[in-house]
Amino acid sequence: MSAISLADVYRARQRIEGRVCRTPLVQSPALSRIAGVPVHLKLETVQPTGSFKLRGATNALAQLVEEGATRVVTASTGNHGRAVAHAARALGMEAAVCMSSLVPKNKVDAVAALGARVVIAGKSQDDAQIEALRLVREEGFAFVPPFDDARVIAGQATIGLEILEALPDVATILVPLSGGGLFSGVAFAAKHINRDVQTIGVTMERGAAMHASLAAGKPVLVDELETLADSLGGGIGLDNRHTFAMTRELIDRVVLLDEASIARGIVHAYREERLVVEGAAAVGMSAVLDGALHDARGPLVIVVSGCNIDIETHRRIIGAS
């Protein structure tokens, strides 16, 4: 049974209206030529925090405020933490964000700049979550999970609504796949409006926890490894309540990418689409460039999830191409 209903998604849209951007859907002539079908980019890069995460965080925190909460904590690979910090400041809440030492410095600094308490804990997303849960127990914070939460999933699902409203005949949607909050939300909304829409998850080869869990038929642990798609790192939780089941039900296939492919996506975004994107946001474009979608039906939409790449890393990747 799904963690959310379509009514939850529409309520989430009402709740976040005015705080989150309705993002543009733009056609990519270059990718359309390569794919042989019309390709559109859903640009979550224009959100105030630079990623889609603001949708789920704002929906969750707005509901917590309604319930009387004043302090929130989360564990994050960067973008969710920044979104929670932004939403908390807008709603007058205190925020703490726990991150591992693998989170890039630019993302840590961005969270701190929004006034949140930053806690660096361990070398994995799981370590960061353990610390966040300690703050819940010992200091009375309300916990906002980065993905495995019905309020967060409903917020991310508003992307699916926007895609179907802007392009009713969309046939295929490519979504970055990590913990499953973005994928399950977008796929849920899209398939509940048009059950024939194909939803494809795209992720990196290095430490793809959801892919490994789907293959095993249950949530499993994976080693968290350094990758250009750092926002897709981390486990899905052995006690995963929502996103594993939703992703397993809604996903049509998974595309895995090596680091060179992700780098090509970043370069393509910059040179052909005039976009600065992080590795996790480049994976849909990388899949098209790799020819992994030669049989995909069009029109095809790629969710471009965020732009929060370390600028020196971006300069190095572009310079090496």
pLDDT tens digits, one per residue of 46-85: 999 999 999 999 999 999 999 999 999 999 888 899 999 9
Strand pairing category for 39-43 and 25-27: antiparallel
Rounded-to-integer distance, Cα 307 and Cα 79, Å: 10
> Percent of the chain, pLDDT > 70?
100
| Strand ranges of the sheet holding 142-143, from the earlier edge strand across to the other edge | 117-120, 94-99, 71-75, 142-143
Stretch 238-256: mean pLDDT, rounded?
96
Domain 53-143 has CATH 3.40.50.1100: yes
User: Exposed (0-12), middle (13-18) or buried (19+): which is 205, by Cβ within 10 Å?
Assistant: middle
Give span(s): CATH 3.40.50.1100, the chain: 6-51+150-320, 53-143
CA-nearest of 197, 178, 176 to 250 is: 197
pLDDT digits 0-9 by tens, 222-235: 988 889 998 898 88
Name the phi and psi angles at 107, rounded to 5: -75, -35
Domain 6-51+150-320 has CATH 3.30.360.10: no
Residue 1 pLDDT exceeds 80: no
Per-residue tokens: 73: 């904590």
CA-nearest of 146, 152, 150 to 210 is: 146
